[in-house]
Amino acid sequence: MALPMHVPRAVPRRYGANATTKNRWVLVASIGGATIIFIFLFFSAGQQRNRESFSAVVTTPESYEPAADVSTIRLRSGLEMPAVGYGTCCRSSARGEALYKSTKFFLQRGGRLIDTAMSYRNHAEIGRAVRDSNIPRKEIWITSKIAPGKVKSYDECLLAADEILKELDVDYVDMLLIHTPKLGKDPTIELWKCLIEVKRLGQAKVIGVSNFNQKEIEDIAGATGGEMPEANEIQQHPWSAESWKQLARWQNENNIATIAYTSLGGSRFHRNESGNADWPPMVTALAKKYGATEAQILLKWALRRGIAVIPGSGSETHIKENLQLPEMHMTETELASIENAAEVPVEWWDAKRGPQKYTDEEANLPWTKRKNG
């Protein structure tokens, strides 16, 4: 007779079967719900990122349109300065509403460096254009200059720096320069000491000079424990006097950035009957070869030489042209051919105002009253 199989007694459970099944479904539902919520949040965040990205492109009115040439020059401090800027000097459209509109247009087309000065008397218009551009202040590089004709001492310089910031309605300028060495050695050294203090106070990120020659730079540095300017803004173009070209090369070797004004070779001093500049034939030939304008060829020449440029214009067409430089790689032979162009229009060499105004003698004689002062 077979013995009955022993069936062990079931271990009593805390909860009944129905409660267990219910809890299992609650657990499954909780996990599923959490998964659904996670997926929803993940895709919502992605959509929000996409909306933000799209908004940055669409809702900001052209202000983030990139320029074709976005090159920069790395300064000794490590800051990256835009290599192509906007000059605001020496033309009828460099003040008032015309300058406000052109500066804002420059920023909307991707430009990021604006060059001004006390003596230009246009800080207010530039400050308004910067505010109204809707571009974050940190993305815009503003250079201004102390005017030695009005500022003649350390204390006056400190007050002038405050006034510049007030006129521009900014907390700092990216670069502050001494406009000329016209006061002579000792007063200029005092101005340089002031700029060092302005930088220490955070009112300027970078300090430098303009229209200084090598000995003048060495003198102000020697008087301040070796504090060299980070930049020198000078006239520089393919047909500058050789000594000024040598200065640019010396500055490059000593980590002093060269910023060129009159970078288009004085073309504004000579216009033909149609109102356009008469360019040297070599420049025109290269422009045709590379599908560029003559102005773009000269700006590219400067950039290839490691020189920043600040061409100014009240024309929207020219502003776009100066910013949207085509991709090209001129050979060293071509660069030299521009510098050696023999057929530069004679009108460009007006000793009173044109490129010849800045001579070899002025580049070599320190602390003498010069035409650029």
pLDDT for residue 148 is more than 60: yes
pLDDT for residue 98 is more than 60: yes
Rounded Cα–Cα distance for residues 269 and 263 (Å): 13
- What is the number of other CB atoms lying within 10 angstroms of the CB of residue 34? 10
How deeply is 305 buried, as exposed, middle or buried, from its count of CB atoms within 10 A (0-12, 13-18, 19+)? middle
Position 177 scores a pLDDT of 98
Q: Which has the higher per-residue pLDDT, 368 or 311?
A: 311
Query: Considering the entire predicted model, what is its pTM?
Result: 0.80
Sign of CA dihedral 190, 195, 200, 203: positive
List the domains of the chain with CATH numbers: 72-364 (3.20.20.100)
Express each pLDDT in 67-86 by its tens digit: 445 689 999 999 999 999 99
Q: Report the chain's mean pLDDT, rounded to a whole number.
A: 82
Position 51 scores a pLDDT of 32
Q: Which residues, in sequence order, are CB contacts of 64 under 8 Å at separation 6+?
A: 56, 57, 110, 135
Reported as a pLDDT band with limits 50, 70 and 90, residue 56 is very low
pLDDT for residue 337 is more than 90: yes
DSSP 5: P
Reported as a pLDDT band with limits 50, 70 and 90, residue 239 is confident
Position 276 scores a pLDDT of 74
pLDDT (average), residues 323-341: 92
Q: Residue 210's beta-bridge partner residues?
A: 233
3-state SS, residue 111: coil
